[in-house]
Structure 1
């Protein structure tokens, strides 16, 4: 269906139910709304990433990495600002903390935009070395900030500034970090994934899910999502939960979010029609239960809107959205 579909502003109305919202397991995937459709809200990016919803301002911010800018979508009238932050230091992933401040994964550092407009550098080094290139970020109710550091912006000139190490691994072992809110101490919490990418907490904050996109640079990597147990400030018991293979084809997982039922929504792509978009997995066994098919690779996603039941998807050149019969488990 996707290949023949026009998502443009002048497209014909889509007949309900939307055929590109796919229910694989009707008993476990109950988020499909029968009278809604996938909408393209914007196109014109080079590589769209890092959507984050601000509940206070009722707006969405996302990154366009190669164009060195961040854009803003205002919910009340659909207005889009194409230069919300420009330059953005090739920012990638974003989130908002519990005070409504934007946290951004820039090419070389993790930063926070303060309410007065100033920018605070939260981290730019680990283990005495530069960060590779922060990718995605989430916040915990204890105030700590968790982020992945796979290094794409340091090894791909198109999305950042290539390091001079001459290696696939830019500066140091690619890893996941936790920044303590009280002490400011940065600690490594995981380095099992070849390239840790998107990450999310389970609704009860007892699990952490981490996408591994290492297959882009490491031949031994697999397209999987890892699951960890979370105890205080420590992760333990790492194990693969999700295998991204579908009908003999596999693409790598990128950004991910979790809904209130615990289901894991994963942005995926680089395969083609019938695969690219968002894939939804059950938390108990990691089985695929639903899909949202898009005509572009989906790099990341988040829940937003007044009821936190609108799924925003950054996919290559475009921003898409669709209403779902569930809500995001967390603020962003």
Structure 2
């Protein structure tokens, strides 16, 4: 059932993509059995990966040491996006509770963000942690639009924004308010730019299906700019991560798309399911972990992910 998959592989669109992959490396399916896999996060100290199976209301764990898969947490409050903070702790976006939480080293949960201006968040979707400890996350309404990945409810805010939670005060501020459905996000290696996907086309005719590029202001707490960097050619850009050369490795309907610094699609890693998200892992951060609809995949690349 598991192992190297036929029909997967690399598609070179621009010659520069040829330097990004290893000729004999192949896509591996590490596990299957989810309903909608999302939010992979790599824990280097334990050599394991945590990811979400949102409709099944559980967090899963894959162990690099023996290839085993187990349930990390159930119920998970329909957790979606996950990341690792500067102290090696799990940070998760929870649809059901409409909040962002941190799992401390003793297993206890702390709430990072649940409200903005006194109103409940919609359903936090994806999250990244900056080197100063601030937590940046997107808040579309997917988790409250139906009962499949959360509880159906009305939005108290009435819009979908991108937020920053201050590491000292805990204050939650909106850093971008002109999105339809903000989704995946990631900082550049130098944290001078923040890239944010808008998947508004899922529920709005001719809506956005792109990634925007913002400049992080000198205060490190706000954004400016926000031009469209790239538009998805197959489905939607959901979750993504950057490598150390500034390329973006992003999910799409036909696999993983690789964009260069200018936003040009230079190649693809074909996956036989709709891809939701990716992250870099392994000892050298040269292994790309990929969450497909029902499965967890990986492939070794000739690039290295950004280390936080």
Q: Could you tell me the TM-score, scaled by structure 1's length? A: 0.88
Equivalent position of 2:151 in the other structure: 161
Equivalent position of 1:91 in the other structure: 79
Structure 1 residue ranges, 4+ long, deviating more than 2 angstroms after superposition:
8-11, 169-172
Larger mean Cα displacement after TM superposition, 60-69 or 120-129: 120-129
Output one character per residue of 1:182-235: Cα deviation in whole Å (capped at 9) or x when no partner. 111111000222100000001111111111111111224221111101121110
Output one character per residue of 1:231-255: Cα deviation in whole Å (capped at 9) or x when no partner. 211100111000112xxxx411100
Equivalent position of 2:252 in the other structure: 268
Alignment pair present for 1:325 and 2:307: no
Equivalent position of 1:273 in the other structure: none
Q: Note closer, same or farther for the CA distance 1:109–1:219 as it changes in structure 2 (3 Å cut).
A: same
Equivalent position of 1:282 in the other structure: 260
Contact 1:260 1:327 in 2 (8 A): yes
Output one character per residue of 1:263-304: Cα deviation in whole Å (capped at 9) or x when no partner. 0111111xxxxxx11001011x21001101111000000000
Q: CA deviation at 1:27?
A: 2.5
Contact 1:244 1:253 in 2 (8 A): yes
Consecutive unaligned residues of structure 2, counting only runs of 5 or more, are: none
Q: CA deviation at 1:170?
A: 6.4
Q: What secondary structure does 1:162 align onto?
A: coil
Equivalent position to 1:207, from 173, 179, 193: 193
Q: What secondary structure does 1:299 align onto?
A: strand
Q: What secondary structure does 2:143 align onto?
A: helix
Equivalent position of 1:3 in the other structure: none
Q: CA deviation at 1:30?
A: 1.8
Contact 1:106 1:133 in 2 (8 A): yes
Q: Note closer, same or farther for the CA distance 1:67–1:19 as it changes in structure 2 (3 Å cut).
A: closer
RMSD: 1.5
Contact 1:47 1:66 in 2 (8 A): yes
Equivalent position of 1:194 in the other structure: 180
Q: What secondary structure does 2:148 align onto?
A: helix
Contact 1:155 1:162 in 2 (8 A): yes
Provide the C-alpha distance between the structure 2 equivalents of 1:30 and 1:187, rounded to a whole number of angstroms: 40
Contact 1:193 1:226 in 2 (8 A): no
Equivalent position of 1:134 in the other structure: 124
Provide the C-alpha distance between the structure 1 equivalents of 2:77 and 2:289, rounded to a whole number of angstroms: 23
Contact 2:120 2:156 in 1 (8 A): no
Contact 1:192 1:238 in 2 (8 A): no
Structure 2 counterparts to residues 297-312 of structure 1, below 5 A: 297-312=274-289
Q: What secondary structure does 1:215 align onto?
A: helix
Q: What secondary structure does 1:296 align onto?
A: coil
Structure 2 counterparts to residues 219-238 of structure 1, below 5 A: 219-231=205-217, 232-238=220-226
Q: CA deviation at 1:10?
A: 7.2
Provide the C-alpha distance between the structure 2 equivalents of 1:198 and 1:181, rounded to a whole number of angstroms: 21
Output one character per residue of 1:43-70: Cα deviation in whole Å (capped at 9) or x when no partner. 0000000000011111000000000000
Contact 1:23 1:32 in 2 (8 A): no
Equivalent position of 2:54 in the other structure: 65
